[in-house]
Amino acid sequence: MLLQKYHENKEALKQIGREALAESRRMGLTISAKDRQNEANDQKKRERKDRVQAPVK
């Protein structure tokens, strides 16, 4: 139960971070190199997760 809540909260915090970066961009604020790197890593993970594996023959 606690582990499930931990994962839910972790994902919620990641979403808040994504929204904060998007808002910063809309406002024209600078984005730190670390934030850009984290965003790129997150994008790569989501792309890998979204890919559907071809059926094995």
The Cα–Cα gap between 35 and 20 comes to: 11
Per-residue confidence (pLDDT) for residue 45, from 0 to 100: 85
First vs last Cα of the chain: how many Å apart? Answer: 39
Digit-coded pLDDT (tens) for 25-52: 999 999 999 999 988 998 898 888 777 6
SS3 57: coil
Can you give the pTM of this predicted structure? 0.65
Q: Are residues 17 and 36 in contact, defined by beta-carbon separation less than 8 angstroms?
A: no
Provide the pLDDT for residue 1: 85
d(CA 33, CA 30): 9
pLDDT at position 49 is 76
pLDDT in tens, 10-26: 999 989 999 999 999 99
Domain parsing of the chain, residue ranges: 16-42
Give the pLDDT of residue 55.
Answer: 60
